[in-house]
Chains A and B, each alone.
Chain A
Amino acid sequence: MNDTICAIATSQGVGAIAIIRVSGEDSIKIVNKIFKGKDLEKVQSHTINYGHIIDNDKIIDEVLVSVMKAPKTYTTEDTVEINTHGGISPTNRVLELLLENGCRLAEPGEFTKRAFLNGRIDLLEAEAVMDMINSKTETQRQMASNQLNGKVSNLINDLRSDMAQIISNINVNIDYPEYDDVDIMTNEILLPKINNLKTKIEKILQESKNGKIIKEGINTSIIGRPNVGKSSLLNALLNEDKAIVTDIAGTTRDIVEGQINLNGILLNIIDTAGIRKTDDKIEAIGVEKSFQMINKSDLILLMLNANEKLTKDIEDIIDKIKDKKFLIIINKIDLENKLDRSKINIPNNKIVELSILEDKGIDNLKNKIIDMFNIAEIETKDPTYLNNTRSISILKNCLNSIKEVEKGINNNLPIDMIELDIKNIWEELGKINGTYYEEELLDEMFSRFCLGK
Chain B
Amino acid sequence: MKNKYEIIVVGGGHAGCEAAHAAAKKGHKTLLVTSNIKNIADMPCNPHIGGSAKGIVVREIDALGGIMGKVADKTHLQIKMLNYAKGPAVRSLRAQGDKIAYPKEMLRVLNSLENLTIKEAMVEDLIVEDNTVKGIILENGEKIESKAVILTTGTYLKADILVGDTRTRQGPHGEKPSNFLSDKLKEYGFRIIRLKTGTPQRIERSSIDFSKTKIEPGDDKLLTFSFDLEPSYKIEDQIPCHLTYTTEETHKIIRANLSKSSMYGALDDIKGVGPRYCPSIEDKVVRFADKKRHQLFLEPESRYYDDIYLQGFSTSMPHDIQEKMVHSLPGLEHAKILRYGYAIEYDAIYPTQLKNTLETKVLTNLYTAGQINGTSGYEEAACQGLMAGINASLKLEKKEPFILKRNDAYIGVLIDDLITKGIRDPYRLLTSRAEFRLLLRSDNADLRLREYGYKVGLIDDNQIKKLHKKEQEIKELTSYLDSKKLKITPEIKEQFEKNNFSLPTFTMSLFQLLKRPEITMNFLSSLIDIPYNEDIKELVEVNIKYEGYIVKAYKEVEKMLKLEKKHIPKDIDYDKIINIASEARQKLKEVRPETIAQAIRISGVNPSDISILSVYLKKEYNKND
Q: How far is the CA of A25 from the CA of B578 in the complex (A)?
A: 9
Near A by CB (< 8 A), chain B positions 71-94 give 82-83, 85-90
B515-532 interface (Cβ within 8 A of A): 517-518
Residue B404 lies at the interface, judged by CB distance under 8 Å to chain A = no
User: Is A118's CB under 8 angstroms from B608's CB?
Assistant: yes
Do B86 and A177 touch (CB < 8 A)?
yes
**In whole angstroms, how far apart are the Cα atoms of A171 and B610 in the complex?**
28
How distant is A413 from chain B, measured CB to nearest CB, in Å?
Answer: 6
Decide if B549 touches A176 in the complex (CB within 8 Å).
no
For residue B581, CB closer than 8 A to chain A, the reply is yes
When each residue 290-302 of chain B gets 1 if its CB lies under 8 Å from chain A and 0 otherwise, what string results?
A: 0100110100000
Report whether A171 and B518 are in contact in the complex, using a CB–CB cutoff of 8 Å. Answer: no
CA distance A417 to B615 in the complex (A): 37
What's the least CB distance linking B292 to chain A, in Å?
10
- Residue A411 lies at the interface, judged by CB distance under 8 Å to chain B: yes
Docked-complex contact A442 and B86, CB < 8 angstroms: no
Contacts of A119 in B (CB 8 A): 581, 606, 608
What are the interface flags for A101-121 relative to B under an 8 Å C-beta threshold, 1 for contact and 0 otherwise? 000000000000010111100
Interface status of A434 (Cβ within 8 A of chain B): yes
Chain A residues lying within 8 Å of B430, measured Cβ to Cβ, are: 171, 175
B611 pairs with A117, CB closer than 8 A: yes
**Is B438 an interface residue, CB under 8 A from the partner?**
yes
Q: Which of A398-441 contact B (CB under 8 A)?
A: 411-417, 420, 434, 436-437, 439
Q: Does A50 contact B (CB under 8 A)?
A: no
A412 CA to B519 CA, complexed, in Å: 11
B438 touches A178 (CB 8 A): no
Q: Which residues of A contact B509 (CB under 8 A)?
A: none
Report the minimal beta-carbon distance from A119 to chain B, rounded to whole angstroms. Answer: 6
- Is A181 in contact with chain B by the CB < 8 A criterion? yes
* Distance (whole angstroms) from the CB of B403 to the closest CB of chain A: 23
B612: min CB distance to chain A, Å: 6
What residues of A have a CB within 8 angstroms of the CB of B518 in the complex?
A: 411-412
> Chain A residues near B294 (CB, 8 Å)?
181
Q: Is residue B616 contacting chain A, with contact meaning CB distance below 8 A?
A: yes
A181 & B87 in contact (Cβ 8 Å cutoff): no
Contact of A117 among B438, B517, B600, B608 (CB under 8 A): B608
Which chain A residues border B257 with CB–CB below 8 Å? none
B-chain residues with CB within 8 Å of residue A116 when the two chains form the complex: 608
- Contact mask for chain B residues 415-447; partner A; CB cutoff 8 A; 1 contact, 0 none: 000000000000000111000001000000000
Residues of A within 8 A of B438 (CB): 416, 420
CB distance from A73 to the nearest CB of B (A): 13
Q: Which residue of B lies closest to A113 (CB)?
A: B611
Interface residues of A in 103-141 (CB under 8 A from B): 114, 116-119
- Are A176 and B546 in touch, CB under 8 angstroms? no
- CB atoms of B517 and A411 under 8 A apart: yes
B106 close to A (CB within 8 Å): no
A336 at the interface (CB under 8 A from B): no
- Do A439 and B614 touch across chains, with their CB atoms under 8 A apart? yes
Interface centre among B86, B577, B581 (most CB of A within 10 A): B86
Query: Which of B82, B546, B576, B581 has a CB less than 8 Å from the CB of A178?
Result: B82
State the Cβ distance, B225 to closest chain A Cβ, in Å: 17
> In the complex, which of the residues A77, A168, A176, A414 contacts B87, with contact meaning CB atoms closer than 8 Å?
A414
Chain A residue numbers with a CB within 8 Å of B517 are 411-413
Chain A interface category by residue count: 20 to 34
- Binary interface profile of A, 163-183, with partner B (CB < 8 Å = 1, else 0)? 000011001011111111100
Closest to B48 in A: A178
Contact A178/B83 with A117-B612, A119-B608, A437-B600 known, Cβ cut-off 8 Å: no
Q: A415 to B86, Cβ gap below 8 A? A: yes
Bound together, the chains give a CA A385 to CA B616 distance in angstroms of: 36
Query: Nearest Cβ in chain B — how far from A163, in angstroms?
Result: 14
Give Cα A415 to B90, complex, Å. 10
Whether B39 is near chain A, meaning CB under 8 Å from some CB there, is no
Contact A117 B431 (CB under 8 A): no
Interface residue B247 (Cβ < 8 Å from any Cβ of A): no
Distance in angstroms from B599 CB to nearest chain A CB is: 10
Q: Would you call B52 an interface residue if the criterion is a C-beta within 8 Å of the partner chain's C-beta atoms?
A: yes
Asked if B579 CB lies within 8 Å of chain A CBs, one says: yes
In the complex, A416→B619 CA distance in Å?
43
Q: Do B89 and A416 touch (CB < 8 A)?
A: yes
Chain A residue, CB-CB nearest to B89: A416
A378 CA / B579 CA spacing, docked (Å): 41
Q: Quick one: which of A1, A168, A416, A442 contacts B90, CB cutoff 8 A?
A: A416
* Cross-interface CB contact of B611 among A414, A415, A439, cutoff 8 Å: A439
Q: A181-B291, A439-B611 are in contact. Are A175 and B86 (CB under 8 A)?
A: no
- In the assembled complex, B266 has its CB within 8 A of some CB on chain A: no
Min CB gap A383→B, angstroms? 28
Q: Are B297 and A178 in contact (CB under 8 A)?
A: yes
Are B607 and A174 closer than 8 Å at their CB atoms? no
Q: Which residue of B lies closest to A184 (CB)?
A: B86
B83 touches A1 (CB 8 A): no
Q: Is B53 an interface residue (CB 8 A)?
A: yes
A442 and B611 contact, CB distance less than 8 A: yes
Cross-chain contact B546 with A417 (CB below 8 angstroms): yes
Chain A positions within 8 Å of B578 at CB level = 1-2, 25
Known: A174-B432, A411-B517, A414-B86. A2 touches B579 (CB 8 A): yes
Chain A residues with Cβ below 8 Å from B610 are: 437, 439
Determine whether the beta carbon of B431 is less than 8 Å from that of A174: yes
A167 to B611, CA, bound (A): 28
- Complex CA–CA separation, A216 to B122 (angstroms): 75
Q: How far is the CA of A258 from the CA of B165 in the complex (A)?
A: 82
Complex Cα distance, B435 from A171, in Å, reads 12
How far is it, in angstroms, between the C-alpha of A171 and the C-alpha of B432 when the chains are bound? 6
B462 CB to nearest chain A CB (Å): 34
* A412 CA to B86 CA, complexed, in Å: 11
Complex CA distance for A117 and B600, rounded to whole angstroms: 15
Q: Which B residues lie within 8 Å of A176 (CB)?
A: 52
Query: Can you pick out 5 interface pairs between chain A and chain B where the beta carbons lie within 8 Å of each other?
Result: A117-B579, A174-B52, A176-B52, A416-B90, A439-B611
User: A2-B579, A117-B612, A175-B53 known; 15 other A-B pairs, CB under 8 Å?
Assistant: A1-B615, A25-B578, A77-B579, A118-B608, A119-B606, A174-B86, A179-B295, A180-B295, A411-B517, A414-B85, A414-B86, A416-B87, A416-B88, A416-B438, A434-B607
9 pairs of A and B residues whose beta carbons are closest in the complex: A416-B87, A414-B87, A437-B607, A411-B517, A171-B432, A117-B608, A177-B82, A175-B52, A175-B430
